[in-house]
Amino acid sequence: MQWTAQRDRLRAILNGSECIRPASVFDPLSARIAEDLGFELGLFAGSTASLTVLGAPDLVLLTASEFAQQAQRVCRATNIPVLVDADHGYGNALNVARTVEELATIGIAAATIEDTILPTPFGAGGKPGLISLEEGVGKMRAALAGRPDPAFAIVGRTSAPVISSLADTIERLRAYERAGVDALFIVGLKTIAELSEVADKTTLPLILGSASGEIESADLSALRVRICNQGHLPIMAAVQSIYDTMKALRGGTRPAEIKNVASGALMKTLTRAAQYDEATRDYLTAK
């Protein structure tokens, strides 16, 4: 498959000995920037997908097809592997298999499937909940069966540290390991002691949804953490920059006075203008 190289690089990260920080990407240009800056991995999250496609908060309002379409735009623009947050797989276990199949066919290298109850059900008062362990295992098994390429990595994800307990977290992670997932993604660990216990009771590569406090300054590689997310600052910075620029223009600032905009040279680099120029010479010029 044409995506083998990206998937092999993603697996090399998971099977390596270092912890890397991925770039949060959300569209073709942000993916190109990540590649040009040397990031080993791009992360495309459900929250940033909701922002770019709908301009809406992370409430699982996005459809699976809308998510896959934006993910495809990201993938086709870059050669670095892309890990996506596929949320709950957009339904039950059968939907999970379908979602994984779609994501694999558009070039994604890996996808996380989580055990949070999504979208938030009636009467929950906005509080997150977890599906049963049995249903979670069923989703992981379906995700593995749904991938058309065995190199595509399935990552079992849980927010149990935030919602239930560390004991429940470990039980879920161990069950997902037995189901056959390739890595484990944990959201909400607060201390080195918690992370150490998770690492001690599991065997697969670990991915952290975030790192704060004492975890942020720890030697995560030694605790088998292979990917540690840094949040989604790029899209937040982009929103602020666009807002400030439009505000200045609306207020009467002349375009020539606007600061901190991409240079023409940078735009040509990110849009791969040289390649299009060459194609124009080859195909649109009489020989």
* Residue-range domains of the chain with CATH: 4-237 (3.20.20.60)
Burial 40-64 (b: 16+ CB within 10 A, else e): bbbbbbbbbbbbbbeeeebebebeb
pTM score above 0.85: yes
> Which pLDDT does position 129 carry in this prediction?
97
Burial 130-150 (b: 16+ CB within 10 A, else e): bbebeebbbbbbbbbebbeee
pLDDT value, residue 96: 98
pLDDT digits (tens, 9 = 90+) for 49-99: 999 999 999 999 999 999 999 999 999 999 999 999 999 999 999 999 999
Task: Tell me if the bond preceding 161 is cis, omega within 30° of 0.
Answer: no
What does the pLDDT read at residue 1?
54
For residue 244, which phi and psi values (nearest 5 degrees)? -65, -40
Ranges of the chain whose pLDDT falls below 50: none
